[in-house]
Structures are given as C-alpha cells and as structure tokens.
C-alpha cells in the first residue's frame, strides 16, 4: 500500500469521527429551545447591526436632522417607538445604535481574547519565571474593578469608539488569560503531548497541532457568554459620557439623554433599554447552548 493510500485510510476514520461529534453537538444544541432562540436572536441582531441604517425609516434623523414640531410623540403607526426631545424617530435611532453597540461589544471580546489567550498560552506552556511574571501581572489587573479601569483608560485616551474598544479590551483580557493558562496546563500533561515532545516535535508544532486546538472550545464558549456583558459595558461608558458621544446613536447614550424624560416620556428610554436586554439575553442563551455542544458534562 502506498503512503498516500495509507494517509487516506488513516484520515477517513478521523473525518467520520469528526462528523459524528458535530452531529451529536448539533442534536444537543437543537434539543434546547432557549439555545435555538438565542441563535435566532443573535442572527437577527447581527443583521440589524449590519443593515440598521439602511432599514431606518427616517435616515435623515441619523444625520442629526431635528423636527421640533414632532418632539415627544408617543408610539404610533408613524413613529413606532415614538420620538425624542428633538423630534427624532426613536426606532431609527435604535436600529442605527445596534451597529455601534453590538459591533463594539464583539470587537472588545475579540481583542480581549487575542491578548488574553496569547498571554495565557505563553505562561502555561513555558512556565517557570515567565509564568510567574505574567500571572502576577494578570492578578494585579484582576484586583482592579474592570469598569473603573476601562473608564480610566478611556478618559485618558479620549472619547471615541476605537479608544472605548481598546480601553474595555485592556480591562477584559485577564479572564481569558487565566482560563487559557489552566487549559494549557491540563493539555500539556496529556500523554499525546508527551509523546510528540519525545519524538522531537518543536514548541511551535506542539502548540499549533496539540495545544491550541484543544483549548479552542472553552475559549469560544467564554467569548459567546462575555459578548452580552461587553455590550452592557459599552452602554455603560456611553451612559456616563466617556465612550460614544452624542449625536452618534448608541443605546447607552440614548439612555443617558432620555433619563431626564422619565417617567412622562417613557418610550425614549424603554426601547433602547429593551434592545440592550434582548441582546444580552440572546448571547447568554447562545453561550449556554455552545457550552452544551462543546462540554456535555457541564449541561444542567
């Protein structure tokens, strides 16, 4: 039998096993109606984030146009979510705000994951004094309240969307670092890693072929669960005026501006707040479903 034929025969069971695992994971996922609802909600929210400005019935309001004659109109067939203090359509602002709030929250988690995973993998794999230095620095960051640290960094960098994302990511990465380090320490003690090292495999090969593929699942689960909290953090910075500033439509900014209108003009605050609630709930449901797929032992 040729080498190519042997490779084909060896890879066939692996592909079959992989397909079986994916099929079982998909079955576990769709057995949980809340996970399916979370997935549908996330897909709809991402669609709104991508095309919200184009779907807005009053796109001129997104550019800052005001109409004082229509100020504080209650929800109606013309203005589904009512109007705010300057006559802008709240529904249009909520649709456009999804682009900033959702995409900023996702960007925060992606950046924090990259930073934290790199630090955690280096610390867990190489160990020794490097592990001690990186983990003590991580512990130092963890002693500081995350939102307070992000506020300080954002205030120093200045109010803008990129600065807000960077500030939150720099306060968010320690959780990913500690999780990645623990997963690497556990995987590094497995027999197949020891066998690969005994056969002369280099550090890069062991990391890319054995370590990283086995820590991907818990990282993905944590990312999906943390996106909702990142959206809240983005809205929090916008609410206190450190993140996004008016007139940029963002859910936290809309809540900050509309808080003086309560309780008489409740619709100016209730709809942005409900958008935040729905986003966090959808991502949490999706994260729970992914945890069931990747780690059936964690299923409750």
Tens of pLDDT, residue by residue over 35-66, are: 888 889 999 999 988 888 888 888 887 777 77
CA 247 to chain centre: 25
> For residue 18, what pLDDT is reported?
57
- Tens of pLDDT, residue by residue over 62-109, are 777 777 777 888 888 888 888 888 888 888 889 988 888 888 899 999
Residue 103's nearest CA partner among 55, 161, 155 is 161
Average pLDDT, the chain: 81
Which residues contact residue 265 at a Cβ distance below 8 angstroms, ignoring those fewer than 6 apart? 72, 82, 84, 85, 258
Q: Is the pLDDT of residue 30 over 80?
A: no
Phi, psi angles (nearest 5°) of residue 83: -125, 160
Three-class SS state of 49:
helix
Q: Is the pLDDT of residue 21 over 70?
A: no
Mean pLDDT of 3-30: 56
Q: Is the pLDDT of residue 240 over 90?
A: no
How much is the pTM?
0.83
Q: Is the pLDDT of residue 113 over 90?
A: yes
pLDDT band for 155, please (50, 70, 90 cuts). confident
Mean pLDDT of 110-124: 91
Three-class SS state of 80:
coil
pLDDT band for 11, please (50, 70, 90 cuts). very low
Output the CA–CA distances (angstroms, integers) from residue 95 to 24, 125, 218, 225, in the order listed: 36, 45, 32, 23
Mean pLDDT of 230-234: 90
């Amino acid at each position: 039998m040729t080498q190519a034929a042997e490779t084909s025969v060896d890879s066939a069971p692996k592909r079959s096993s992989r397909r079986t695992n994916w099929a079982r994971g998909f079955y576990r996922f769709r057995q949980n109606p809340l996970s399916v609802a979370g997935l549908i909600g996330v897909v709809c929210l991402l669609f709104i984030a991508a095309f919200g400005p184009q779907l807005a019935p009053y796109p001129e309001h997104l550019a800052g146009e005001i109409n004082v004659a229509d100020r504080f109109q209650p929800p109606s067939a013309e203005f589904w979510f009512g109007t705010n203090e300057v006559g802008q359509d709240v529904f249009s602002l909520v649709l456009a705000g999804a682009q900033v709030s959702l995409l900023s929250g996702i960007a925060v988690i992606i950046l924090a994951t990259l930073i934290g995973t790199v630090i955690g993998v280096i610390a867990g794999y190489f160990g020794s004094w490097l592990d001690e230095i990186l983990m003590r620095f991580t512990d130092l960051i963890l002693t500081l309240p995350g939102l307070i640290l992000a506020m300080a960094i954002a205030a120093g960098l200045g109010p803008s969307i990129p600065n807000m994302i960077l500030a939150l990511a720099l306060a968010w990465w320690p959780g990913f670092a500690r999780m990645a380090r623990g997963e690497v320490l556990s995987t590094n003690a497995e027999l197949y890693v020891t066998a690969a090292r005994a056969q002369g495999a280099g550090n890069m090969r062991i990391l890319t072929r054995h370590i990283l593929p086995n820590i991907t699942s818990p990282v993905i689960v944590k990312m999906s669960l943390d996106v909702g909290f990142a959206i809240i953090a983005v809205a929090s910075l916008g609410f206190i005026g450190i993140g996004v500033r008016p007139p940029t439509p963002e859910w936290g900014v809309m809540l900050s501006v509309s808080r003086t209108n309560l309780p008489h003009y409740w619709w100016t605050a209730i709809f942005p707040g409900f958008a935040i609630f729905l986003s966090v709930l959808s991502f949490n449901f999706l994260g729970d479903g992914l945890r069931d797929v990747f780690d059936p032992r964690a299923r409750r």
